[in-house]
Structures are given as C-alpha cells and as structure tokens.
Amino acid sequence: MENTLILGATGKTGRRIVRRLRAAGHSVRTASRSGSDVAVDLGDPATWPAALDGVTAVYLLEPVLQPVPDRDARIPKFVTEAASAGVRRLVLLSAHGVGEADDDHPLKSAERAVRGSGVGWTILRPDWFAQNFSESFWKPWVLSGTLAVPTGDGRTPFVDAEDIAEVAADSLTDDRHSGRIYQLTGPRAISFAEAAELIGKATGRTIRHVDVTAEAFAERLAANGVHPDAARMLAGLLEDIRDDRRATVSDGVESALGRPATPFEDYVAEAAAAGHWD
C-alpha cells in the first residue's frame, strides 16, 4: 500500500521528490489536479479521503500565485483531515520570509496548521528556484534574449529545485527532520544580470537583463493572461530583490543534507546540457 502522498506531483519539486523516493524503493502515491495516481483539489474536500487512505506521510504545497477562494483555510482543513486519517508526518513547501511576514502572508496559516497538527512536521522555506529560468516564469524571456524584471542590481541566492526535492524526500522518510524549519538557498547571492550572463555563456546566446518598473512588469504579465493579483504579487516579490532584502544566504541545505547547496553555475551547466534553452 502506498504510504507517501505527494501533492503537486507534476510540479517542479513534486516530480523530483517522486523520482527520488521511488528510486530509493519507497511506495509513493502521486496527486495533482490531473495526470497523477489520484486527482486532488485542495478546494474540494471530497477528493481528499481517497488520496489519504493508508498514507503515513504527505508533501504539501499551496500554489500562491494561482488565485483561489478561501486560500487561508485550504491547507489547515487538509492538515486536520490528514491527521485524522492517520498521517504521521507532514512536509510543507512554504516560502522565503514567511517566518518574518505579517499574518496576512498567504502561507502563514499553512505553516501554523502544520506546526499545530500534532504529528511530525518539517517546513521548507526556499528562495527563488533556479529552475524558473529553464522551466517556467523566465524561460520565454531567456529564449527571447531579454530578461525584463524589476530587480535592478539586487541579488538573491537562487536555490536548485533538486536540492529542495532532496531535502523534502529525506524529510518525508527520516524522523531526524521532525520539528525543523529549513531556509533553503543557493551558496551565494547573484543578480539577474549575472544569471543572464552565466546562462548566455553556457548556451552561446546573448541574454541581457533589463530593469523595469514593478508596474510595467505586472502589466506585461496581466497582458499575457496572468491574473492581475498574481502579477502584482510577483512584481512585489521581485522588488524585494531590488532592495537586497532577499540576498541572505542560509545553510539549510547543508544542515539538512550534510553537503553544500548546489551552485547556480552547476544548475546552468546541467540545464544547458539537457537542452532546456535549445
């Protein structure tokens, strides 16, 4: 019987966690809105019992850039049902800075629910994913040659999604991570201009970073189909980089895994070799 449930199993972290757990011989049940072992919608409690049946560990995440009703209650309600169903370990993908954020942060209630669940828990607070350059957000702009984001010369320690997945997989299967909050970053903070330069060198492309206002950035996203609220949220998060409020490097990866975090240069080399920017 499957005993580990992975929500968001088709996403950047979820599919990597599934791969690691299955390679290690663990039994895994994948869950997402479609394309997984079970269909789970955090907004539809009727989809939860079948997913949780026989499960002892759950990987949780809430896609904060997707506008949904009643967001603050979704994870807390799911956590309550999971604990009642016999789940003994929860691993939550949270976000950088939630611990210092005001109570209106969209992931604050999720963290509070996990910590108060009465079962073993681990919280992961990653910085910006390096894979955003090769799998989502910024890939089309990298391919266009112009990375237009409101970050100025600010820096951030992009974290490799493979590192996040390794910490998550270990946390789902090892009690030594219980009660831990891991701030996950790369080993050094770099600017978007440096990121563009490194990707350009690895691919032979000319890629430049162009600083724009947060308003212009949000308007561009909205014009391309992103919900205006999500566009403004993303623009605000990027402005934190401009002000170097996201430049702090943490030792969470090394603390959890006993090895240094993956450098951005290594991620770029692997992504280029895999053809992500071809």
Q: Convert the pLDDT of each residue in 25-65 to its tens digit.
A: 999 999 998 889 999 999 999 999 999 999 999 999 998 77
Q: What percent of the chain has pLDDT over 90?
A: 82
Mean pLDDT of 192-221: 96
pTM to 2 decimal places: 0.95
d(CA 81, CA 146): 46
pLDDT at res. 99 = 75
pLDDT at res. 101 = 56
Q: What is the mean pLDDT of the chain?
A: 94
d(CA 271, CA 142): 13
